Amino acid sequence: MHNRSFFRIFMQTGAWLILAFLLLPMLVVIPVSLTDKSYISLPQDGLSMQHYTNYFTSAEWLWATGTSLFIGVGVALCATVLGTAFAIGCWFLSDRMSTIARWILITPILVPPVVQSLGFYRFWVQLGLIDTYTGVILAHTLLALPYVSISVFAALANLDRRIPQAARSLGASVWTTVISVVVPAAKPGMMAGAIFAFIVSFDEIVGVLFITVRNVQTLPKMIWQGIQDNIDPTIAAVATVLTVITLVLMAVGALRKS
Amino acid sequence: MSNSVLSVRNAVKRYGPVRALDDVSLEIGDGEFLTLLGPSGSGKTTLLTAIAGFTELDSGSLSLRGTDITGQTPDKRNFGMVFQGYALFPNMTVAGNIAFPLKVRKWNSSDINTRVAECLALVQMEKYADRLPSQLSGGQQQRVALARALSFRPSVLLLDEPLSALDKKLRADLQWELKDLHRQLGVTFIYVTHDQDEALSMSDRIVILKDGSIQQIGGPGELYNAPRTPFVADFLGKSNFIEAEVTGGAPGAVQCAAGGESFTVASAAAPATGSRRKLALRPERVRIGAPGAEAFTGQVRQLSYLGERAHVIVTHPGLGEILVSCPTWKAGITPEPGLGVSFGWDSDACVFLEDA
């Protein structure tokens, strides 16, 4: 009995330590965001909301947030439309070539982001897309496509092949069949894919650093520059706001499921 | 066939080295209930999906009332189809499913409503119009699939093993309903099954397929009583096979010898004297009796009681094992393993088979 309880304590302590290791760096931004100093530090003489005020009143920060949201939504739309079309096409064909095509499409996940960003940079220069919204949306769409197509593939895996056949035999054209019976089946995957695509884009920095200069300022890039140029605690406030929004969304999702 | 609605000519479909359809030609009559029957891999489903337009033929042609439809896509063929597993649209209600082919054909909404109500009544599913397919039992889903496939008044209805997922009792009920529906609507039914009882009980004609080619076509009684090949004799019901030598006689009374016994076969065609032929003999045509009562003497090897009938295996030193199926209520004797019995059959009980 003694040995067993020792083992239990050891395991539990270990588990909690690992959790703390994972969570504390994230949580440390909360006290930092409340500091009363004008540089990154823990609160000394008291708590202050000034950095939150700064975030919500700074045109630059708000513009960057808006830019990231705009790009994220654009990417979610483009990637969902293209990724769904790709997945549905492959599902209909489901031959050797379509399997190869599926593998090629998920390479963006496998290639190191720096290598890919370099590729974007070289190519975007030639296309004149450097430092444009179109350029960023296009690059992020390419990065997000695999997530959308994978989740749509997963949704279509449950679709009985005889269902689109039934629609065809009942007189529906290929297009009507896709819209009326295949897309509804793909919908859960499309929703999940769109959310993934938005997150991929909202979070992305390496590509943005390579292909934008001044004109396009996204939130991750702004945070990055904030660390580089000045050590403004507003960054911590932004990070806290994002963390809280994420937690709220997750809680809502969990409640809706249960 | 004079009033042929659909004809299949020299249809060939290969999957790699396998010939799923090997030069199949078939005329389907207007309003008939035609069953494609065969074991798995016989090509029956390939033939049905080729008719539906989902399988492209390597060669051969299909025509509907004289018009070639070989290259037509499934949506243009206007055939109703009931799929194995029903294939109802899970995102639409029962009424939505039935209305789908009508909406695709751009009917106006009041016509659609009238027709959907008619079709629901046809399959007695009026109460379930607003349910989703997932809220229905297998038999109910089957009815909806049927109503959906009939709603746009197709001239031909294709059914791919529609009852295979249902339990035995429900299957029997739905067989009657399908038959009634067929008679009531006058639509041509092309029905695929591997279940010989289903085929025998419902069809006007049965097409027996094996390895991608047609073995025999005929009415249920014709196929059962006059099988042409050992495969047909064995696949539809049970058969005893006897290798016999033709020793003489004339059409109507052919003399045969087998296993040291001789007997007469009432066959319209007389094979050449001296030729060896295979005969099929249905177990229920064999009579069993007390020793001396029938022509041949044997011994009971095994007995299987099936309720309304009993199956008895009788061994004969020359003929081998003969399966006898006799009604249990008038066996006359009580066959027990080891009992000496006599057995025999009428001269029209045996059928000459082709060597195939």
Q: How far, in Å, CA of B17 to CA of A8, rounded?
A: 63
Q: Which pLDDT value is given to residue B1? A: 47
Query: If you write DSSP's letter for every residue of B59-80 in order, what string do you get?
Result: EEEEEETTEE-TT--HHHH-EE
- Which of the residues A162, A170, A181, A182 would you substitute to probe the B interface, choosing the one with the greatest number of B C-beta atoms within 10 Å? A170
Strand partners, B258: B261
Residue with tokens 């052919």: B254
Helix (H) or strand (E) holding B325: strand B320-327
Is B83 in contact with A180 (Cβ distance < 8 A)?
A: no
Q: Which pLDDT value is given to residue A49? A: 87
Helix (H) or strand (E) holding A237: helix A234-257
Which residues of chain A does B90 touch, with a Cβ-Cβ cutoff of 8 Å?
A: 163, 185
Strand partners, B15: B18
Q: How far, in Å, CA of B262 to CA of B274, rounded?
A: 14
Other CB atoms within 10 A of residue A257 CB: 6
Query: If you write DSSP's letter for every residue of A188-202 in order, what string do you get?
Result: HHHHHHHHHHHHHHH
Q: Does A170 touch chain B (CB under 8 A)?
A: yes
Classify burial at B309, counting beta carbons within 10 Å of its beta carbon; exposed 0-12, middle 13-18, buried 19 or more: middle
What residue ranges of chain B have pLDDT lower than 70?
A: 1-2, 329-333, 356
Spatial contact of A33 and A237, defined as CB atoms under 8 Å apart: yes
Q: How far is A169 from chain B (nearest CA, A)?
A: 5
Model pLDDT for residues B295-326, shown as the tens digit of each residue: 898 989 988 888 888 889 999 988 889 999 98
Model pLDDT for residues A97-128, shown as the tens digit of each residue: 888 998 898 888 888 999 999 999 999 999 99
Nearest-Cα residue of chain A relative to residue B147: A170
Reduced to 3 states, what is the DSSP secondary structure of residue A62?
A: helix
Q: How far, in Å, CA of B40 to CA of B21, rounded?
A: 13
Closest CA to B316 of B344, B351, B277: B344
Q: Which pLDDT value is given to residue B338? A: 82
Least confident of A168-172, A176-180, B267-271: B267-271
Q: How far, in Å, CA of A186 to CA of A253, rounded?
A: 20
Q: Which pLDDT value is given to residue A95? A: 84
Packing angle, helices B109-122 and B94-104, rounded to 10? 130
The dihedral sign for the CA sequence A127, A132, A137, A143: positive
Other CB atoms within 10 A of residue A72 CB: 23
Is B85 in contact with A172 (Cβ distance < 8 A)?
A: no
The first and second tokens of residue B55, run together, are 């399988």
Which residues of chain B does A183 touch, with a Cβ-Cβ cutoff of 8 Å?
A: none
Whole-angstrom CA distances from A43 to A29, A33, A48, A233, A243 are 11, 9, 8, 11, 20
Other CB atoms within 10 A of residue B308 CB: 7
Q: What is the mean pLDDT of residues A140-144?
A: 94
Residue with tokens 């047909």: B232
Is B81 in contact with A169 (Cβ distance < 8 A)?
A: yes
Closest CA to B299 of B330, B258, B348, B342: B342
Strand order in the sheet with B350-352: B261-265, B253-258, B240-250, B276-281, B350-352
Q: Which pLDDT value is given to residue B24? A: 92
Model pLDDT for residues A13-64, shown as the tens digit of each residue: 999 999 999 888 888 888 888 888 888 888 888 888 888 988 898 888 999 9
CATH homologous superfamily for the domain A60-228: MetI-like (1.10.3720.10)
Spatial contact of B64 and B5, defined as CB atoms under 8 Å apart: yes
Q: How far is A99 from chain B (nearest CA, A)?
A: 20
Of B54, B85, B104, the CB nearest to A160: B85
The pTM (predicted TM-score) of the whole model is 0.81
Q: B218-221 long-range CB contacts below 8 Å, 24 or more apart?
A: none
The first and second tokens of residue B330, run together, are 């008038």
Is A171 in contact with B80 (Cβ distance < 8 A)?
A: no
Is A169 in contact with B91 (Cβ distance < 8 A)?
A: no
